[in-house]
Amino acid sequence: MHQTVLFTSLVLMMAVAAIFLFSLSRSGAGDGSKKAPKLGALRFVLFIGALVLGAAVSIGSLRPWPRAVAAGADVVSVKVTGSQWSWEIDRKTIPVGKPVTFNIATTDVSHGFAVYDAGDQLLVQSQAMPGYINRVSYTFRTAGKYRIFCMEYCGVAHHDMTDEILVVAQ
Amino acid sequence: MAQANAPGTISAPSCPADGAVKLTMLLTVAVLLLMMAFGLTMRMAQGALIQIDPTIFYRLMTAHGIGMVGIAGMSGSAIMWYFLSRHVSLAGWVFWIHLGLFVVGVVAILGSIFIGGYAGAWTFLFPLPAISGGVWDVGAAATYLIGVILVGVGFLVYLVEVGRAVIERYGNFANALGWPLLFSGKQDDVPPPTVIAAAAIVVFNGISTVVGAAVLIISLINLYLPSFTLDALLAKNMIYFFGHVFINASIYMAVIAVYEIVPEYTQQQWKVSRSFVASWNAVVFLVMAVYTHHLFQDGVMPAWALVMGQIISYASGIPLLVITTFSLLTYLYRSGIRWDLASALLVTGIFGWSIGAVPAIIDGMISVNNIMHNTQWVPGHFHLYLLLGQVALTLGFSAWLTRTGVHASLSGWNARGFTIYLLGGMGFAIVFLVSGASSIPRRWATHLPEWHLQDQVGSLFALAAILGVGIIVLPITKRLVLSMRG
Amino acid sequence: MTERLAFYAAVLILVTVSSSPVRLLLEQSLVSHLLIQMPALVLCGWTIARRHRDAINRGRESFNVGGATGLSFALIVFSFWMLPRSVDGSVQNPLYEFAKFVTLPFAGASLALSWPKLPPLAIGILKCNLVSMMLVLSWIYTTSPSRLCNSYLRDEQDMLGQIVAVLAIGLGCLFGGSLFCGTTTIVRRKSATPIGSGGRE
Ligand code: HEM
Ligand SMILES: [Cu+2]
């Protein structure tokens, strides 16, 4: 997912850059007629294309709802509380393959709870906001150690606000 | 003000507070370079190339954030003022007040950070200013907030004057926003692009300033009376609404330079078509509604607001890419444009903004945001359209403002500086994107060893970008000073 | 004609809200005290003064240049009566109450005399500031951990806060909307800058 996002973005950026380069390479005076080409139709096509693409991408990327929270009997519930500058996690050993719902709170300022895998890839995150409990769900596929980082700037030891959880096979 | 021009400088159409605009550009150059040095320091610290205390890092981060956002807003407002005065009559002293309040505010902000130790980030997210973990005291946070309020008041005065002048000339905002053309195709007295842009900016930046002032004053009261609490979710909504609109406005204001200067090069007036009018009217709504994409990771936000955030993020790209970028490119096509520093920088500004929109829109998808939010992906995309967008537009304007009568093609040191800046800036921002895809969090003073390489490459590009900007601004600064001495 | 009618209506309303039963009735609740009685006093002062604006202003122009003096006076009076202590005082202390019934109409009157003289820039800033301040006030009323006015219940304070928030948003929409349908006489500039005028060539 991470690499796909990067790749897609770079390709699209290059496409935009290519359009710029193409037009600029033809910015010379040409045959003397300085008029801009009549491109109203092209613009209209682009506009409609953008709308159609947008609708397709929106529907495709919002279903299933990307912030769905798992609930039910077999869901493992974990309570996470952030404070400057450490985490309190009430259950640090989690079974593999079961949906886990993190209930995230904070005692002071906003924090950001994020789970990183052994390859330092961010898997799932949520904000911790004063006065609220944010929920986010994730199902771990592989056993092992996972790191917890803080993703919302919370003061001068923000980067030290790390922890670990263990995912175990049953 | 300083009316007479230095020898070799072409006299520009007179602008009320011409001197203040030039002074603003000088200030912009100085603040830009200082803040870029702060940025390089941060980047090098992340790459373990230098050692600085995290406390210092976060102070630099706070200063860099507010300093850059502030100067982007200020330079944008100067550009808009300069060109709007071609079409409506503005009272020059108002811009001096705006500039004065900005300077006083900046002094307060710098004092709060480097004397008071405030390091709560430029976003002053409630309740961080009040709860520092014992690092800075209430006085420092209050000074910071007061500084931002002063800058905000300056902007309010500025926006009201712009609104007043626009109404004086066009009767009301419906006319100034081109509604007669949009809805009934009326061709008489159609406002020029600058006026339409200015009217739109007054509407959305005015609303954001009012909301921003309220949340700033509330935060200030909360510092001294902590029992007067604020709903953190409401505060975050207000702050991001204000912050998002403000920084976007800095780009929209600077784009006016393209509408006004590029036609001088292409000999073709920037046309106010129905789609131009429609897109600016859409922007008024889009730029205000899009901020919820900052709150995707807050599960307590209503789902409809998040869906709206995603869809509007995408939609915001359409007026930019399909109207602004597309129009610019068609104007340039076969235009025989003469490339000099000003024209190259202005086109770069639209280029940086356009490519920056790509990673922004992609991160505006909730499923992507789940893994990219608050990683360095975010500074990646916004440095593209700030460092290569807003700043390029501002520098392009300054280059044009200080142009000499002699034909200046893009060659010599100008060309070298421009190339180094362009490549350095691109590289710097793209490394951030790569770092984001490697899940490196943003706003971390120290990085894990496996991240250092990326940080070091990023630092190298940053150095290049700063060098390039330095080369570009050297002659501009000289001519600005000369023309101000008059 | 309508101005004369408004004048008499204002006098009538001023007398009515000042009469003991109505006065006590409106002061029973914080909401009606702050949002009906006080604005009514200001409005009456405004309407009464407006009818004789020219007569009052004649010969006194130098005293209220650009409306600054009158505006300052009105703002000071309003700020004073925004303080919870003053509101409490007016309920408990007849002297305060008397002062309120005198100063608020006068503040309204001085605003009426000054408003047309204010530069449009000042009016715009005042309007924006008013909306901001009302949002802050609404927050203060609703989140204060204790009662701000000892003479009134906490519930009323909450309600006041909510109403003020609605009013702030309503006023904001009104001010914003009025920008779109104004019919100001249009002032054209003498010389529009032709395209390319700043260029060389
Ligand atoms: C070569 C020039 C620049 C360098 C080296 C630089 C460097 C940095 C660095 C290292 C960060 C922190 C990244 C992190 O969160 O890990 C940052 C953040 C930021 N930069 Fe820059 N930057 C530059 C130019 C600019 C410009 C031109 C602007 C705007 C006009 C800008 C606006 C910002 C903002 C708003 C932030 C966010 C601060 C925060 O997270 O609180 N930067 N920059
Ligand atoms: Cu943190």
Q: Do both A139 and A93 map to the same domain? A: yes
Q: How many CB pairs under 8 A join B and C?
A: 106
Q: Do both A81 and A158 map to the same domain? A: yes
Residue B186 CB coordination number (10 Å): 13
- Residues A45-64 have a mean pLDDT of 87
Q: Do both A45 and A82 map to the same domain? A: no
Does residue A163 lie in a domain region? yes
Interfacial A residues in 105-134 facing B (CB < 8 Å): 108-110, 112, 114, 116, 120-127, 129-134
The confidence score (pLDDT) of residue B406 equals: 63
Shortest distance between the Cα of C14 and any Cα of chain B, in A, equals 34
Which domains, from first to last, does chain B contain?
18-485 (1.20.210.10)
| Candidate from A58-67, C130-139, C168-177 with smallest mean pLDDT | A58-67
- Answer yes or no: is the C-beta of B119 below 6 A from any ligand 1 atom: no
Q: For residue B284, give the amino acid letter.
A: V
Name which of B10, B32, B2, B91 is nearest B401 in CA terms: B10
Does residue A102 lie in a domain region? yes
- In the block, which residue shows the tokens 């006319």? B175
The confidence score (pLDDT) of residue C166 equals: 94
- Closest partner residue to B333 (CB to CB) among A9, A37, A136 is A37
Q: Does C188 touch chain B (CB under 8 A)?
A: yes
- Answer yes or no: is the C-beta of B36 below 6 A from any ligand 1 atom: yes
Does residue A71 lie in a domain region? no
Q: Does A77 touch chain B (CB under 8 A)?
A: no
| Banded pLDDT at B409 (limits 50, 70, 90) | confident
- Give chains near A: 3+ CB pairs under 8 A: B
Cβ atoms of B215 and B152 within 8 Å: the answer is: no
Please state, rounded to an integer, the average pLDDT across all residues of chain A: 89
Q: Do both A54 and A82 map to the same domain? A: no
CA angle B337, B343, B347 (to 5 degrees): 100
Does residue A54 lie in a domain region? yes
User: Whose alpha carbon is nearest atom 20 of ligand 1?
Assistant: B65
Percent of the residues in chain C that have a pLDDT greater than 70, as a whole number = 90
Residue after which a domain boundary falls, among A16, A32, A62? A62
Instruction: Ligand 1 pocket test: pick from B75, B118, B383 the residue with the most ligand atoms within 8 Å of its Cβ.
Output: B383
Residue B212 has pLDDT above 90, yes or no: yes
Extract the tokens encoding B100.
């004065």
Please state, rounded to an integer, the average pLDDT across all residues of chain C: 82
The confidence score (pLDDT) of residue C6 equals: 82
- Answer yes or no: is the C-beta of B390 below 6 A from any ligand 1 atom: yes
Residue numbers in A near B119 (CB within 8 A): 155-156
- Answer yes or no: is the C-beta of B387 below 6 A from any ligand 1 atom: yes
- What confidence tens digit (pLDDT) does each residue in B262-318 have? 998 888 888 898 889 999 999 999 999 888 888 888 888 888 888 888 888 888 888
Residue B327 has pLDDT above 90, yes or no: no
With 0.80 as the threshold, say if the pTM is over it: yes
Q: Do both A89 and A164 map to the same domain? A: yes
The confidence score (pLDDT) of residue B218 equals: 93
Q: C159-171 burial string, b = 16+ CB within 10 Å, else e? A: bbbeebbebbeee
State the first-to-last Cα distance of chain A, in angstroms, to the nearest integer: 27
Cβ atoms of C148 and C84 within 8 Å: the answer is: yes
User: Whose alpha carbon is nearest atom 22 of ligand 1?
Assistant: B39
- Can you list the pairs that C154-158 forms with residues at least 24 positions away whose Cβ atoms lie under 8 Å? C156/C29, C156/C30, C156/C31, C157/C30
CA distances from A112 to A39, A82, B442 (A): 47, 8, 12
Alpha-carbon gap, residue A166 to B19, rounded angstroms: 64
| Banded pLDDT at B32 (limits 50, 70, 90) | very high
Ligand 1 atom closest to Cα of residue B39: 7
Q: Do both A54 and A112 map to the same domain? A: no
Q: Do both A125 and A149 map to the same domain? A: yes
- In the block, which residue shows the tokens 């009566």? C81
Name which of B356, B339, B358, B190 is nearest B274 in CA terms: B190
Q: Do both A84 and A53 map to the same domain? A: no
| Banded pLDDT at B1 (limits 50, 70, 90) | very low
Q: Do C184 and B156 make contact, defined as CB atoms within 8 angstroms?
A: no
Q: Do both A80 and A162 map to the same domain? A: yes
User: Whose alpha carbon is nearest atom 43 of ligand 1?
Assistant: B39
The confidence score (pLDDT) of residue C31 equals: 86
Does residue A84 lie in a domain region? yes
Rounded to the nearest 10 degrees, the angle between the axes of helix B138-170 and helix B54-84 is 10
Q: Do both A30 and A112 map to the same domain? A: no
- Answer yes or no: is the C-beta of B465 below 6 A from any ligand 1 atom: yes
Pairing of strands A122-128, A134-139: unpaired
Q: Do A66 and B366 make contact, defined as CB atoms within 8 angstroms?
A: yes
ipTM for the complex?
A: 0.93
In total, how many domains does chain A have? 2
CATH number, domain with residue A111: 2.60.40.420
Question: Torsion-angle region of residue B348: left (phi > 0), alpha (psi -120 to 50) or beta?
Answer: alpha
- Answer yes or no: is the C-beta of B244 below 6 A from any ligand 1 atom: no
CA distances from C166 to B4, B218, B231, C172 (A): 53, 18, 18, 10
Length of chain A (residues): 170
Q: B34-62 burial string, b = 16+ CB within 10 Å, else e? A: ebbebbbbbbbbbbeeeeeebbbbbbbbb
CA distances from B287 to B160, B205, C170 (A): 19, 10, 21
Q: Do both A87 and A155 map to the same domain? A: yes
- Determine the distance separating the centroid of ligand 1 and the alpha carbon of B229, expressed in angstroms: 31
A152 burial type by CB count under 10 A (0-12 exposed, 13-18 middle, 19+ buried): buried
B393 burial type by CB count under 10 A (0-12 exposed, 13-18 middle, 19+ buried): buried
- What confidence tens digit (pLDDT) does each residue in B116-166 have? 999 999 999 999 999 998 899 999 999 999 999 999 999 999 999 999 999
Contact of chains C and A by CB distance (3 or more pairs under 8 angstroms): no
Does residue A70 lie in a domain region? no
Q: Does C197 touch chain B (CB under 8 A)?
A: yes
Cβ atoms of C114 and C71 within 8 Å: the answer is: yes
3-class DSSP state of A119:
coil
Look up the domain containing A58 and give its range.
Answer: 2-62
Q: Do both A58 and A88 map to the same domain? A: no
Residue B12 has pLDDT above 80, yes or no: no
Residue numbers in A near B374 (CB within 8 A): 112, 125, 151-152
| Candidate from A96-100, B13-17, B173-177, B385-389 with smallest mean pLDDT | B13-17
Cβ atoms of A71 and A100 within 8 Å: the answer is: no
